[in-house]
Amino acid sequence: MEKQELEKQVRERAQKWLNPAFDKETREQVQHLLDKDVTELIESFYRDLEFGTGGLRGIMGVGTNRMNIYTVGIATQGLCNYLRKQFAHLPEIRAAIAFDSRNNSMKFADITSKVFSANGIRVYLFDSLRPTPELSFAIRTYKCHCGVVITASHNPKEYNGYKVYWEDGGQIVPPHDKNIINEVQSIKDISEVKFNGDSNLIRVIGSQTDEIYINTLSTLSLSPEIIKKHKNIAIVYTPIHGTGVELVPKTLHKFGFNNIISIPEQDVIDGNFPTVVSPNPEESAALKLALEKADEIDADIVMATDPDADRVGIGVKDNNGNFILLNGNQAASILIYYLLRKWKENGKLKGKEYIVKTIVTTDLLADIAKKFNVESFEVLTGFKYIAEKIRELEGVKTFIGGGEESYGYLCGDFVRDKDAVISCAMFAEITAWAKDQGKSVYQILMEIYQEFGLYKEHLVSLTLKGKDGVEQIAQMMKDYRANPPKSIDGSRVKTVHDYQKQETTDTATRKISSINQPKSDVLQFIAEDGTKVSVRPSGTEPKIKFYFGVKGELKSGSELENQLKELDAKIARIVEELGIKK
């Protein structure tokens, strides 16, 4: 589309936001864009903020392509329309709402509760910020039919989001996701949104729910006697200005840990995240203050949760006493190894247990499960698919734990989303368990590598913002589908998985078999030497992600550095070979 034509269409869309249905402040901001800032006007109005398969996520501001009370209202009205059709046979429909520490999160939660209640839906609204996993727990506790949490997870401060959950406590999956999207898209005018809430249908919940949640999580402890012996291990924890600030320490205390050291400046609830560039526990910079404190006091473990406390970053001491950060695959491997080993030692393995991982998470998890004769399932990227598997097998098999490489883990099935609250408690427990053996968590990881092989994963994430970025990402996926690599670092590509087409191709025989997974814009290339490369656009950010998985041997800890260098060099060659420019 020519820029002139695009600008004309955008101006027509923006003019509709000048009518009295929109508040005075919004109208003034839109008028400013019309008069003074064409570039921002186009970015704000060139499309509707997409209600994707999980909900909304975007930059806050005025316009159809921004997070604001109107786009949130439209999303909620569409959700209400679907709920009223789906549960028309019930005398009452119930929804739970939570929100995090981001700017405007409380406002968006309030609007959501008003639209729900205006549509005759009973609402359970948290009285203040709460972790996303507690929203999942609340849905199940109060027998709700859906839930919404206002959060943009670990995105930068200018973002916010709106995640939708179904009655099982998991994020929405097919067919509900597409059906809700259709309902949202069918709303053509803001006048269709019912904003005048019914306070009689809104119940505020808080500390009582917290208590039930924490007590339930505490039943998952596998080593209570060991915790008693090592209750004073030094745990440095930071919520990075987010929702973990109260519940993570309370849960650690409930498990029996007494020595929890906070980072006072990061305990401050602030949606501007003033002490970090990005509140992302995947990035070492976000843990800088916690690591400095850990060095100062010679802590045993460092833990940092993202703003909605569904993901956690872990720091442990290496053999030289220096703190290093575990990546998501390493942490998931340690967690699953501990869970399975303790379940076996405690006589809890009966032959019907299982774990779940995503297709881009290390295959080490599956290898560990195999050793313990525990079934391992693989699902699409996104914790909602782990929740879907739990629901599918409910009453048939027992879920032990699951994880994904992006720092999200779950133990037990009380919650149906990644849960940094129980993850923090379990990693503290693992630290005590290792210490009881005279070992560190790092040494446990080295033992895992020596037994199962040295797995090395790497993620390259390219950010391509705006309209042009969306188009570039789509073109890259199109090109990889049309011309998949024939070899990776000298090893022939033997298998291509195309989850969009739901097809697996054997490159030698050209035989095509079907993939029994929902459609997803993901490509995977697997070489004869076991190297795996996965490519997918992010569903929540303007990014395209490349996941690399390679494997070597580790006969002793002293070989680690050299072996990692070899694997890193291999990954670097693959990145260059595929023409990925960071």
Pair of tokens at residue 420 = 């940094």
Pair of tokens at residue 342 = 């303790």
The DSSP 8-state label assigned to residue 185 in this structure reads H
CB atoms within 10 A of CB 572: 13
The answer to whether the CB of 101 falls within 8 A of the CB of 244 is: no
The answer to whether the CB of 153 falls within 8 A of the CB of 145 is: no
The answer to whether the CB of 101 falls within 8 A of the CB of 241 is: yes
The answer to whether the CB of 82 falls within 8 A of the CB of 186 is: no
Residue 341 CA to its chain's centroid (Å): 26
CB atoms within 10 A of CB 36: 9
Q: How far is it, in rounded angstroms, from Cα 326 to Cα 315? A: 6
**What's the one-letter identity of residue 40?**
E
**Three-class secondary structure of residue 247 per DSSP:** helix
Cβ-defined contacts of 434-440 (< 8 Å, 24+): 435/230, 435/233, 435/300, 436/223, 436/226, 436/229, 436/230, 440/316, 440/317, 440/319
φ and ψ at residue 174, rounded to 5 degrees? -55, 145
Which of the residues 44, 113, 136, 153 is marked catalytic?
153
In the residue annotation, 153 being an active-site residue is answered as yes
φ and ψ at residue 404, rounded to 5 degrees? -135, 160
Q: How far is it, in rounded angstroms, from Cα 8 to Cα 38? A: 11
Pair of tokens at residue 152 = 């943009």
φ and ψ at residue 148, rounded to 5 degrees? -135, 135
The answer to whether the CB of 306 falls within 8 A of the CB of 281 is: yes
CB atoms within 10 A of CB 74: 24
The answer to whether the CB of 552 falls within 8 A of the CB of 471 is: no
CB atoms within 10 A of CB 500: 14
Pair of tokens at residue 553 = 């041997």
**Three-class secondary structure of residue 114 per DSSP:** helix
Pair of tokens at residue 142 = 């109060």
**Residues in CB range of 261: below 8 A, 6 or more apart:** 234, 235, 236, 237, 293, 297, 299
Q: For tokens 């929109």, what's the residue?
A: 22
- Closest residue by Cα to residue 327 from 548, 522, 152: 548
Overall size of the chain counted in residues: 582
**Residues in CB range of 372: below 8 A, 6 or more apart:** 340, 341, 343, 344, 349
Pair of tokens at residue 281 = 């526990």
Q: For tokens 């590509």, what's the residue?
A: 493
Mind telling me the catalytic residues?
A: 153
